[in-house]
Structure 1
Amino acid sequence: MDVRISFNKLLEQYEVLAQSDNAFIAAKAKRILEEQAPYPELREGFSDFSKLETYKDQIGVILQDSFSAVLTNNEIKTASVPFQNVIFNSSERFKRIIRTAGEDFNLEIKNLPDDDMYIIACTVILGFCYGYNLNFKRPFYYQIPDENGVLRFYKILYNADFIEIIRTNKAKEITQEDYEELLDNYDNVGLWKEKFPPNSYIFKGFVISNIFDVTDDQSISNIKSTLIGEDKRKTKSFMEDFHEIFRSLLGLKDLQVGFSIYNEEEDQFERVYGVGMNSFLLNKRETASCADALCNWSYNRLLKENKFFTISDVDKAFNKYEKPSPHVSILHKQGIKSAIFAPIANESGLMGILEIVSKRPKVLNSVMANKLEDVMPFIVSAVERSKAEEENLIEAIIQKECTSIHPSVHWRFAKEARAFIKAEFNNEKAAFNKIAFDNIYPLYGQIDIKGSSEARNKATKEDLALQLNSAKNVFERAIKIEKLPIYEQFVSEINDYLEGLRNHFQVDSEQQISSFFKEDVESAFKHIYVIDELKPLIDSYFDSIDDKVNVLYNHRKEYDDTVAMINKEMASLLDEKQVEAQAMYPHYFERFKTDGVEHNMYVGESITKEDSFNPIYLYNLRLWQLQVMCEMENAYYQMQSNFPVALDVASMILVFSQPLSISFRMDEKQFDVDGTYNARYEIVKKRVDKAYIKGTRKRITEKGKITIVYSQKQDELEYLRYIKFLQSKHYLDTDVEIVELQDLQAVTGLKALRVSVLYHKKEDDKEFYTYNDLMKEIKA
């Protein structure tokens, strides 16, 4: 843009005033015109800004009415070059503000990027030259530090009455079509430069800026914008910005801001968690009882009356009484000299405390505190929103950790929740409708600890035997010291229990022996503990007892730890592999930890809510499931040596080819099958792993083998293809067998494929194969 400083438009007004009937006004206008007359360049315009110094005196005369000497110490006013930070005349007050800011201060408009400046100039041209008034009005600001280093905000209002815009031969004609295109492309500076090429217009004249100190208003606005943002507490700049805003509002450089939250249930103040956040009321404490943090008067002032209070001189208040108030003491300890405590409260009562402190006495006082009246509503609103967000987050965490809704079906729950909200809003009877999915194909699998009951019983018997022998040792030693019949009776009972452990351990044996220890043995030990010779033996006995379960818990702990580790590792591996399965096709997935890990998968059109389901996705998931079971078997035996107890596992897959319906049980917070016919699937799931091969006493599940249970011939053929394919990939061995299952209650005709897993000494990275890979292999 070709910018030229010119006073032509202003001088034209003086030409009119020179013809005035008021002799004083006319004489003054003529004198100004005479002052300019020898210097035609002041009318024609000049681009060399150095000439501003040359014509300094003449410009002063021309602008004397615009810059009144009477108001120069009050008004903040400048004359400047359009679209440039070049000021050539200003009021005395503006000069003082700039001098105070310091020699290294660079004056610039804070909220006006260079590209915006270009586009704004173009919008001005559209109005001046083409009559397209875009009404582009937005406030511009200077941000200037005062003598205390506190940033103050100054709003700029431009008077453009003395500007002329002249088209050059480089200017393009702007059509209605061009105008409409520009309306939708404000941020496309390239397009604006195409329509308005550089130096295609002359900006001739100058602008007068009337400037106003709006620090208070801007500080309030900044507080609003700072509090509106999401997750601001997590950013380091949040509290830094907050401090600067309050420093500007209250005009204090060394001011600090803190917060504490009020917990009504506990009647205590709590720390607010966020980057850079502090509480001067709590200091280093996480929480403090309100009664311990405040005196009676300040407690009533904040919590009952919800009014602010100040301590203008902390040292004076501290020294005034022999036992200072708790809040005064804690401020004094931190070196704070004056403070304001303002309640963050709504109609429901106190939510928290805004704490403003300074290391200087008397600068924070009750007069100063009144300036907070304008900002507290925004802080209250922000805290209300924050509390609501925290409650929602708590509910979300509870749902995620305790009643998780799988992502594949979350859309359906969200849909019903929206309908529930809509019904409540319309004052209709709101009810959360049944969540059900029809025509769903189930997949079920488990990797189960083989012989878990026997292993648990063995560990229990070993622990009980150790504890019985330890007690027996005490009583046998007691007999040698003091031969009482009761000791011999205890030894006899212990021998009976040991015999029972060896030969006929029953379900209630553990409970009987535990009662014997608690009611008889421990009472006797307390009685004979006075015998010095027995004290070490009795101490040793009690040292062996686990504090939590109150029994000797060595072998059982090893077993329980092993089961927990197996479950954790297998569940973790399954979760990791599930990511790949979801990528194949979205489906519902859930797993459970028992003595091993079970998983359910449901796949179908009604879950994905898209017209995309094809049986090939079911085949892919079945093949994936079989591969994963092989992977889990391998992973288990590779880490088995790390477990306290060497246990074996057996894997099983249940194939159910008929689609079924599932629904969410609100009372149990989980999905279950719907209908009598579909219940057969659940019955098979619960009983099949305990089933025997027909005509034998051998369980269908066996360590080292994958068992695939099915009822339909097509299922058998389908899985034989999967097995053959995985044999070629060295997942499975060649010893495939087909067996019939002994009839279960209400379920007959089940068969099973059993095949050995091929194990690897080291875990190799293996890719998963798809159903298409299988088809290629068969065709090859």
Structure 2
Amino acid sequence: MHTSILNINDDHCVACQVETRLSFKPLMNHLEERIKTEHPIKAQFYRFLLERLYKIDGKDFQISVADVEKHHEIMVLIYTILTPLVANEKEFFWAMSTAVPDKIFFSTDAFYNFYTNHERAKGEPDFDSTTIEKKQVQFIYQLILKKFYNFTSVFRDEKIYTYTDPETSLNRYYAIHADTRFIDIHVKGELPEIDFEQLGAQMHKGTELELLRDALPLTNFRLEGFTIITLTDITMTHAIDNIRSVLVNHTYEQDAYPKIIQSLKTLVGNADVEFGLMPFLTVNDKLVFDSDQCVESVLMDAAKEAGIEDEVLYQMVVDYQKDPKPIFYTNITDEKAMQNPFLRIIRHAGIYSYTLIPIFYNKQLAGILELHSRKELMIDEVLLSKLRGAIPLLAQLFQYGIDAFNAKLDAVLKDKFTSLQPSVQWKFNEVAYNYLRKVNAGEEIAVIDTVTFEDTYPLFGAIDIRNSTIERNMALQDDLKSLLTTLIDTLKIIKEHVELSLVDKLIYDTGEWLIRINDYTNTNDEIMLSSFLNAEVEPLLQHVKASNAITGPAIDAYFNAIKEESGLAYRKRRELEESMQLINTSVSRYLENEQTALQKSYPCYFSKFRTDGVEYDIYIGQSIAPERPFSNLYLKNLRLWQIRSMAEIARLTRKLSKKMHNPLFTTQLIFIHSHPINISFRNDERRFDVEGAYNIRYEIVKKRIDKVLVKGTAERLTQPDKIALVYFNQNEAGEYIQYIQYLQEQGYLNHEVEYLELEELQGVSGLKAIRVGVNYPETI
């Protein structure tokens, strides 16, 4: 034990601002109270100490710091009473100081050695960049506010002391705790009122001390007693908190790994142990080694230095994934490295000791933690036990990294591509990942690769609303008739109440328009009629309504009629749009449900889009699902489904026609193309398109056959209640004929089968078609 005086604050004397006295009176009062309640044996020990304290010659049992050495035995007795019996003073950081921690006058060997070895020349307390003087002032005001105002939340009791261990060059952290039970505070004069709301506001600004100095000058107080100071090693707790702070602050995308690795080194307290962190990032369920995310992995660095291909490393990690468990290698010699490819990579990097620990997140392997050393080092249970508290946080870190990596891929997909189907998204993932690698490699103009699928078999189908253009024109014509009739009725009512020759002219012009509409309506007529109504009719109606109230109801009836969402002048077009919407929505929903079932058989790309009806493209082939063997059986299954689904769609739309004001009917068209084609995703238009001259011919035919005529006639190939299949040669049609015969037996198709030649299209000749009738159940 030491009675040597340690000056905490030589430069700034806070004690000069407040009167302080080293007194044992507060301790004696405390002991006298404890004797009343303690066990007799312990009380007897307290009495023994009190007897010694009563012999101190001084007012209120006060002594000077310089005279502490004369009372060494009493100091030892105080230490014995106030500390656990099992505390080893060689290891226990404990000391007694003046009431304001200005001078330490008694301390354990551990505290004395710690302080003298780590003075400010070697380490600086981490007091949030404020001076020791400010902390001492805060300490005094904390005591004053607690005793006289019962206010305890202004300042923290515990402070953190940080220093760098010269042996390991690693930081260590100690919590400083001041026990103030044995301090009495005396006030000179009256205590003022304190506005604690204002104090709270000052605390937020960091200017609370200025307010307290004005309200409670330190010269008005006297402190008597002493303070107990203890230091507690919180290095491990602080390191864990640092890791947690990185995660909470979401800095893992920037410099998280270096910070966390430094905290791990602090945890184990050994500068010879290095760490690596490697989350398991995947693209299409395959591991990838992203340089940005795996930059702190010694395994990645060693493999790169050794010239190991990613495929070799990938296979090693895949093998490890099958049986993830801790792996320990100590004293990695050249001889051992020659016998083990994995050790050869590690040894090539100059590493003698290597440990690998699997990290799990929600029971799933999220990555690995690496411990390695360039010295012969035993990584034992004691060292690993220090890391246990960090393992759950590392699991969270890895998951954050995985989520961040996936978010980057998703951002590229959304920016560069359209909404993707799962069957082809794997390819877009690969392209997005390659694009990110180019960006990370620093390419000034990183170009994203083209997504291409080779040798895919196309299937095209179109469900069209029959005569949709004619139906639109008829609906428009009927609506315009209703509009003009309503307008004539309105103008006649106005004529009864207003003497204007212009009204007669408008009635005449409207009648002329009604005759014109009955004959034919084209776009030019619509424009001219709209100009007539807006420029001539509406201004007159507005003026008449404002000047002659009796005409108001008739004029309002006209304006209500021309409201698009509810007016009589749009009724037929609304009914037609509702009917078309009903068909398209129902057909789209049917195809979406069917697509889900088709994908279970074999992945395919299924794209549908709306015209006046619904069209779809399907592509299937080995390149779309490289991991699954492709067979023509899957293609045949799709072709059979294509005809059956067309029959079911025809039945569906026939049933829907009963719910329409003017029944609409659909035609069903299939284009047969037996040869595989290549398709590529066009980034500018965000859709797939065919490649190559021959393949483009397929696209041309597909776009022109919807209105093709039967050769030598004016008859359209596509007809309601029928399915039309267009092809080039008989070999292509043979397979479909078998499907037609099967579906006839199943009751989907009737026996009306036609084999037709089609007229030549621009740039296309030799087209043929099969047309077969749909069999409707009696309930439809």
Q: Give me the TM-score of the superposition, normalised by structure 1.
A: 0.49
Q: Give me the TM-score of the superposition, normalised by structure 2.
A: 0.49
